[in-house]
Amino acid sequence: MKIVTWNINSVRLRAPIVLDVMKKWSPDIVCLQETKTPDEFFPFDTFREAGYEHIHAHGMKGYNGVAIISKHPFSDHLVHHRCGREDCRHVAASFKDFDLHNLYIPAGGDEPDPAINDKFKHKLDFLEEMTGFFKTVCDPKKPAIALGDFNIAPYENDVWSHKQLLKVVSHTPPETTRLADMLDSLDWIDTARHFIDMEEKAYTWWSYRNRDWRKSNRGRRLDHIWVTQPLKPKLKSYKTLEEARDWEKPSDHIPVMIELDL
C-alpha cells in the first residue's frame, strides 16, 4: 500500500503534475492539501480516468481545501470543522486496514505572538484541538494514519538553520511543543524520522522566493505522515520527490510517500 501526501497549491492548476506522480509512483492513495476549489469544480473526472475512482474532497474558493483520492473504496468519509470554523482543513475516511486523517494545519501568519496575530492563535488552537481529538476520539490500538501539510518543521534538522528560524513561524517553540503533544496523543510514529536519522537534513518545502532553490537549499520539513503503533512493523519505505519542485508550474511543496506491507 503506497500513500502520498502533497500540498498541491491549487488542484485545478496542477492536476497534470498530480497525474505525473500517479504515473511515476503508482500510489494507492493520494492526499492533497490546499486544493483551493469548491467541490463542484474539483477535477473528479481527471483522477477517475486515471484509475482513482474513490474521492473525498472538501474545498472552498481560493483557500485551503483537502482531498483523499484513492484506488480503493473507503467508508465513513467525514468532514471535521475545527476551532469553530468551516475552513476545509480536516477530512477523514475509513479504509479496510486503517483510518486516515488528512490535515491542513493553519500556516500561522508572520508574527509568532497569539496576542497580536489571530492567525498564529488559530494555528495553536488547531493543534491543541487535534491533540484532544486524537486522545479522546481515537483508539491507540487501532491502525490509523495522520498526514498532510502540518506547516511545522519540528526538529533542528527539519530546517536549514535551527538558530535563525527559532523565531520564524513554522519552527517556533510554541508550535513545535504543541506538535510534540499531538504526536504523543496516540504515540504516533513520525515516518520520516523513522527512516531518516535525526542528524540528517530532511525537507519537503522550499519557498518560491528563492530563485535557485537547489543552490540556496533553504528548506523546511512541513509535510508529514504519521502512523499509529500497530502500523509501525508494517512500514516498508519513505520517499520524497524533489524533482517535482522543478516541474512546470510546481507547488512549493513536494510529494511525500510511505509504503506499508499490508
pLDDT at 211 over 90: no
Q: Where are the domains of the chain?
A: 2-260
- The Cα–Cα gap between 222 and 87 comes to 20
Q: What is the pLDDT of residues 112-146, one digit of tens each?
A: 999 999 999 999 999 999 999 999 999 989 999 99
Report the share of the chain in percent with pLDDT over 70: 100
What does pLDDT average to over the chain?
97
pLDDT at 3 over 90: yes
> Domain spanning 2-260: which superfamily?
Endonuclease/exonuclease/phosphatase (3.60.10.10)
Higher pLDDT, 210 or 181: 181
When pLDDT is averaged across residues 29-47 and rounded to a whole number, the result is: 98
For residues 162, 166, 168, 169, the Cα torsion angle rounded to the nearest 10 degrees is 100
Residue 150: predicted pLDDT: 98
Long-range contact set of residues 21-26: C-beta below 8 Å, sequence gap at least 24: 21/241, 21/244, 21/255, 22/47, 22/50, 22/51, 22/52, 24/241, 25/239, 25/241, 25/255, 25/257, 26/2
Residue 210: predicted pLDDT: 85
pLDDT band at 64 (very low <50, low <70, confident <90, very high): very high
Instruction: Give, in order, the Cα–Cα distances in Å from 11 to each of 148, 155, 176, 197.
Output: 15, 29, 29, 33
Q: What is the pLDDT of residues 16-33, one digit of tens each?
A: 999 999 999 999 999 999
